[in-house]
Chain A
Amino acid sequence: MRRFTWFNATSLTLGFVFLYLPMVILVIYSFNASKLVTVWAGFSTRWYGELLGNQAFLDAAWVTLKVAVASSTLATVLGTMAAYVLVRSGRFAGRTLFSGMIYAPLVMPEVITGLSLLLLFIGIGLDRGVLTIILAHTTFAMCYVSVVVSSRLVSFDRSLEEAALDLGCTPFTAFRLVTLPIIAPAVVSGWLLAFTLSLDDLVIASFTAGPSATTLPIKIFSAVRLGVSPEINALSTLMIAIVTVGVITASLISKRASLAQQRDAQAAARAQ
């Protein structure tokens, strides 16, 4: 059987063009020597150099990085804890409600999340800045982390923890020495996911950022409103690169982990 019929090839091409053409154009024009975005004037890395000299962009990049690292780390800790409790606690009154509530922010419109966080921060009198963006990002990234981690925990063999307890661990050391190392790939890919989500978030950040702190997406968005510049293209290209690396790493890690898990399961089945 031929796998690439005329029809298949066309639809594949159309789909990919649709997805990636805009980005490819952006990347190509970031290497444009001309100041006019739409006129090609030869290859140059000039705008990347210029970017490094732009203090406002560098500041925004620094804020974005701080926010992404801090919020994804916090979200990973909280999300893992939430996943662990929900998967482990078995049945208790309101369990379905709780697990549903953990995942609700995934489908909540970002505008609403952003707005409600803004109201909260104003309500408790917290000045908007880096801290508020971190808190806001932690809130929504946590759900993603807990989804990723709990899907791993569901297939985690409970008797491993029991064996650890039996050999003298407290519940906490059992978690640290046995559970965590085994679910680590899921935790790491949860972190990477949270990191990339924070990196490219515009909506929630716009609500919770203050004059003292602006993230890159906000900066780009406001800059573009004054006209697209080649500098913005260069900056966006860099962000595409970072996000791509993050996502690919996350998926490689979870792929490898699930392969290892399959292999262990097969080995265990052979042993029976």
Chain B
Amino acid sequence: MAQTVFAPWDNPDEKPLIQFKNVTKRFGDFTAIDNLTQDIYTREFFALLGPSGCGKTTMMRMLAGFENPSEGQILIAGQDMAGVPPNKRPVNMMFQSYALFPHLSVWDNIAFGLRREGAEKTQLAARVEQMLKLTRLERFARRKPHQISGGQRQRVALARSLAKAPKLLLLDEPLGALDKKLRQDTQFELMDIQEKTGTTFVIVTHDQEEAMTVASRVAVMDEGRIMQVATPAVIYEQPNSVYVADFIGDVNIIEGAATPHPQADGYSVAWAEGQPQFHAKTNRSFAPGQKCFLALRPEKVAISAEPPEEAANRIQGKIIDIAYLGNISTYHVRLPNGTMMKAQTANTRRLSRRSLTWEDAVWLSWTDTAAAVLEG
């Protein structure tokens, strides 16, 4: 084996950098964070993913010290943060609203934190220049925040929070205002910075692709609770709930009743009257007849004109719609009982040479390990 995998969360001897211990945060009688317990480790790139209003910003603000937990404890590097003001925490935050100082130039904005810690003049200048270079803002150093574009402002905010090289950096939707290309560049830039500096990042995003790209672990949140924490691959391939499966990427959800398969070690899922049962393997166990959900990613469903041989699951249907996305196409197929199912294929051939089209009768097939079997 070449490298050891970065997985401090699997190592019981590893000390977490951040510990949320049964943290609850209420605003009036509204519970924004609900009894949340979570460890985050040094050098992690921890992504908080969830719909708007689920409490991501609130978690960040509690880490930075702008909000106090109503109940529970937050520890950073083993130290209880209760009563420690924001300016005494080894944490910097990039604000969702950027919060750039309007009366200071881009240069002075970035230098602000360094000045507060009394950095020496030439060192300070060098550091600011370095940050300007990193965020490609050299040409705008003398401008005021209102004289630059939204994307540039976002980069200033990023540079300002990075300048002090904090132990822990909190990024609240850092790349929302950037166009796709620049966003991808910046994502790799962030990972690069992380690699070089060893900073721990907690990043809030509602862009799941971004979370998948940058994160060592992803936490999917809903209404103040963390639904699942795992590596991007596990979140994607082995979601623990329909909510998580549905939140990340495209998925077919099929509800049915599980029955242990007589021969194989999986389950047969009866999902519709008069239709052949589906077969799926899982290490969860279900009682005979227990309700279950199959979560099946479209790219794991093969589509063909001829009936496939030796497929664990196959079913016939009719193409209703084709979404052509350039590199891939998504076929929307109607099954005999009216259920719609999505299947995705890579477009390795030119458009004119592809055989499947609207109204074609086709076969869908997938293996018995393709779908995750979930309880709810």
Which residues of A approach B to under 8 Å, CB–CB?
157, 159-160, 162-170, 173, 177-178, 181-182, 263-264, 267-268, 270-272
Per the bound structure, the CA–CA distance linking A86 and B149 in Å amounts to: 35
**Contact partners of B177 in chain A: CB under 8 A:** 271-272
Given contacts A166-B64, A166-B93, A168-B116, contact A160 B153 (CB under 8 A): no
Per the bound structure, the CA–CA distance linking A169 and B253 in Å amounts to: 51
Q: Closest chain B residue to A181 by CB distance? A: B103
| Nearest CB of B to A56, in Å | 46
Q: Closest chain B residue to A269 by CB distance? A: B150
Which residues of B approach A to under 8 Å, CB–CB?
64-66, 85-87, 91-93, 95, 97-103, 112-113, 116-117, 145-146, 149-151, 153-154, 160-161, 164, 177
Per the bound structure, the CA–CA distance linking A267 and B85 in Å amounts to: 32
Given contacts A168-B164, A263-B146, A272-B177, contact A163 B99 (CB under 8 A): yes
Contact status A166-B91, CB under 8 Å: yes
Contact status A169-B146, CB under 8 Å: no
Per the bound structure, the CA–CA distance linking A181 and B117 in Å amounts to: 21
**Contact partners of B100 in chain A: CB under 8 A:** 163
| Nearest CB of B to A61, in Å | 37
| 14 new A-B contacts at CB < 8 Å, known A163-B160, A271-B150, A272-B177 | A157-B99, A159-B97, A160-B99, A162-B66, A162-B86, A163-B93, A166-B64, A166-B86, A166-B87, A167-B92, A177-B112, A264-B102, A271-B149, A271-B177
Per the bound structure, the CA–CA distance linking A173 and B118 in Å amounts to: 14
**Contact partners of B99 in chain A: CB under 8 A:** 157, 159-160, 162-163
**Contact partners of A169 in chain B: CB under 8 A:** 87, 116
| Nearest CB of B to A258, in Å | 14
**Contact partners of B64 in chain A: CB under 8 A:** 162, 166
**Contact partners of B103 in chain A: CB under 8 A:** 181-182
| Nearest CB of B to A127, in Å | 45
Per the bound structure, the CA–CA distance linking A181 and B145 in Å amounts to: 15
| Nearest CB of A to B104, in Å | 8
| Nearest CB of A to B66, in Å | 5
**Contact partners of B65 in chain A: CB under 8 A:** 165
